[in-house]
Structure 1
Amino acid sequence: MTFDEERPKKSATHEIGTDLSAISAEELRNRITVLREEIARIELEITRKDHSKRAADSLFRPKV
């Protein structure tokens, strides 16, 4: 086992406000990819919640 194999793997997370100066360009690109995927996931959930709310509103809206 080499020294590199013994080191723990870096986390794929990103903490907002982290000092970026010690992070490689490749790792920064990876973080951007992860963040874009998370944004897409959040936007999809917002869309689902909006659809559910509209459906509930139309069902429970008073009939005039």
Structure 2
Amino acid sequence: MSNDDDAPRPAAPFQIGQPPDLLSVAELEARIAALRQEIARLEAAVRAKQAASAAAESFFRK
């Protein structure tokens, strides 16, 4: 029986903290764009969790 949680995850195209010396301007810009997208995704997740938490708190305070 296969479990999706046990499946290996694809490797990230880059690691945080890698030296940028050997990267081209285009590669650096691509990484910046990818990181901005990830930041936006994570900020949306934070907002959703905060909204759910606030809704639960409001419900249980009544």
> Structure 1 runs of 4+ off > 6 angstroms?
none
- Taking the aligned partners of 1:45 and 1:13, their CA distance within structure 2 comes to 22
- Taking the aligned partners of 1:12 and 1:27, their CA distance within structure 2 comes to 14
Q: Which protein has the larger Cα radius of gyration, Structure 1 or Structure 2?
A: 1
- Taking the aligned partners of 2:55 and 2:35, their CA distance within structure 1 comes to 30
Q: Which segments of 5 or more consecutive residues in structure 2 lack a partner in the other structure?
A: 1-10
- Taking the aligned partners of 1:47 and 1:14, their CA distance within structure 2 comes to 27
Structure 1 residues 41 and 33: CA distance shift in structure 2, 3 A: same
| Bigger RCO of structures 1 and 2 (CA < 8 A, at least 6 apart) | 1
Percent sequence identity is 42
TM-score by length of 1: 0.73
Number of aligned residue pairs: 52
Secondary structure of 1:37's match? Answer: helix
Deviations 1:14-64 (CA, angstroms, capped at 9, x unpaired):
311101111111000000000000000000000000000000000111x4x
